[in-house]
Amino acid sequence: MLAAVPLASCGGGDDAVAVLPSPAAEQQCTQLATHAFSDAKLLKIAHHAAGAFVTPTNATIPAVPGFCQVSASLQPSTDSDIRVEVWLPAAGWNGKYLGLGNGGYGGTLDYNALAQGLARGYAVADTDMGTAPSTGTDGSPLINHPEKWLDYGYRSTHLMTLFAKDVASKYYAKSPAKSYFVGCSTGGGQGIHEATQFPEDYDGIVAGAPGNNRLGAHQSVLWSWAASKVSRESAVPAAKLTLLANSVVAACDSLDGVTDGIVSRPDKCTFNPAVLQCSGADNASCLTAAQVTTVNAIYAGPRNLLTGEQIFPGPLAGSEASWSLYTDAAAPGATVPFGAIFNWVFGKDWDWHTFDWGQDVITMQSSLGPMVNAVNPDVKAFRDRGGKLITFQGLADSLKPPGDLWRYLQNVETTTGQSSSFVRLFNVPGMGHCRGGSAPTMFGNDLTADSVAPGDPTRDLLTALEQWVEKGVAPERMVATQFSGSDPSTRTVVSTRPLCAAPLVAKYKGSGDPNAESSFTCAAPD
């Protein structure tokens, strides 16, 4: 156990705890420096009056409520440096704790999300997952650091949770009554790790587009990226990608009963890219045979060539506009997007051309899978203690296609039985990875975005989760909004649409404004 540096030692130096000078009113915060926290090195304890907060990168967050800031490094191994921030409301604490997820390879803290959670009355915490100086897209600093792989996989989230709860208990002289977690992508995977491996940590979890099948997700990116690099003719330039996307919308938009530019029922879409194949010379209005092969490979998703197993499902119809990550022609020396995880296993000199879609898949699973994957569907312990899990998934997400989450939740149903008693899935037509898209995609699914209606359980996922955990009211229908712009003071509502708890889907009633959610009902799919 590493004890905190006492108040009397708060001078300079890297090993000292930075404690701002405080009058008596701030002692509740600064006295935290006198406590010992297991495997934690306290870095900063500061009371902040209400007002603007300036982040370490000199960004200013306005109108932050007064709070106590606790920064620490958690060190479960000699090669661990898990940075954690805990923000504690100085007034108006709602009695609850909120944990936040990260993105990509982590490496940074989300101060905007911390401020959002604080403003809602939570004691809130975030972690860089112990991966700095990695960034969201680059995990190369972690090559040859297996303890950091473990921190990234699940240890950092669990230890952040234990530390934050301990800090809150000491600050308020009582433990949080309820604990919640919100994350998407890597953050969603962190939520699944928590539900499966540490069911006592949280009472409710929001896990969006979860990267719980971490290896499969990265292998999926490699598969799609490599498909367009088979030859120079295999690349699909931006104009051709637009042609493909527009053709899919034209063929499948109206399958939900409304023509609105959104493929809401990709499960019913039977578009065949071969209809776009050039009958003669290559031109802007068609795809070459090599490009059709690329498109079909991306739709198909990767398979293990030894076992025939589907490693990861391919993206759905309606996601094509976001494929440029994969289909652009590669410049000399180009690297696979998010590809550092392969270097963790195969070394810094790994060449993507040599990846064996049989044995290398197995090697990655045996060496790294236990650290970073959370695909165990047995969440009975989480269920049995009353835990609730809300998941959401953009149907136009090509970075983390929906099929993997659907497959995982089906396995949860098979393993636990009647998973609807504690799991909800909301599919979001037109939404890309975690957010965005030319569709109604705002439903309180992102704490860092301007909330549509915080506190409304039909338009705010965190509130819906609280209602389910604390009052037994399960969310069945959420309302998503599309705005004309991003500025809350000037934007206008373009459309709203219901998001129905799967397997139900939104169906147009046949009359009424197609841009109003009241014109739709939640019904079983055709």
Q: Are 148 and 79 in contact (CB under 8 A)?
A: yes
Distance CA(284)–CA(49), nearest Å, equals: 59
> Hey, is 3 helix, strand or coil?
strand
Cβ(450)–Cβ(439) below 8 Å: no
d(CA 399, CA 312): 11
What token pair was written down for 230?
């088979």
As to burial, measured by CB atoms within 10 angstroms (0-12 exposed, 13-18 middle, 19+ buried), residue 332 is exposed
Any residues with CB less than 8 A from the CB of 188 and at least 6 apart, and which?
Answer: 101, 207, 208, 209, 210, 211, 212, 391
Q: What is the rounded CA–CA span in Å between residue 397 and residue 408?
A: 17
| 169 given a catalytic annotation | no
Kindly list the distances between the CA atom of residue 458 and the CA atoms of 445, 463, 523, in Å, as whole numbers in the listed order: 12, 8, 17
Among 400, 401, 395, 420, CA closest to 409: 420
Check if the beta carbon of residue 301 is closer than 8 Å to that of residue 222.
Answer: no
**Of 397, 404, 446, 460, which one is the catalytic site residue?**
397
Residue 86 Cα distances to 44, 73, 231, 289, 465, angstroms: 10, 11, 50, 55, 22
Choice among 134, 433, 446, 451 that is catalytic: 433
3-class DSSP state of 407 = helix
Q: How far apart are CA 462 and CA 179, in angstroms?
A: 11
The token pair at 391 is: 């998941």
Which of the residues 71, 156, 185, 234 is marked catalytic? 185
Q: In this structure, what DSSP letter does residue 171 have?
A: H
Q: Which amino acid is at 151?
A: D
Backbone angles phi, psi at 524, to 5 degrees: -65, 145
* Nearest-angstrom CA–CA distance, 308 and 478: 38
Residue 433 annotated in active site: yes
Helix, strand, coil distribution of the chain in percent, nearest 5? 35, 20, 45
- Greatest CA separation found in the chain? 82
Beta strands (DSSP E) in 295-400 are 388-394
Sign of CA dihedral 402, 326, 448, 167: positive
- Residues identified as active-site: 185, 397, 433
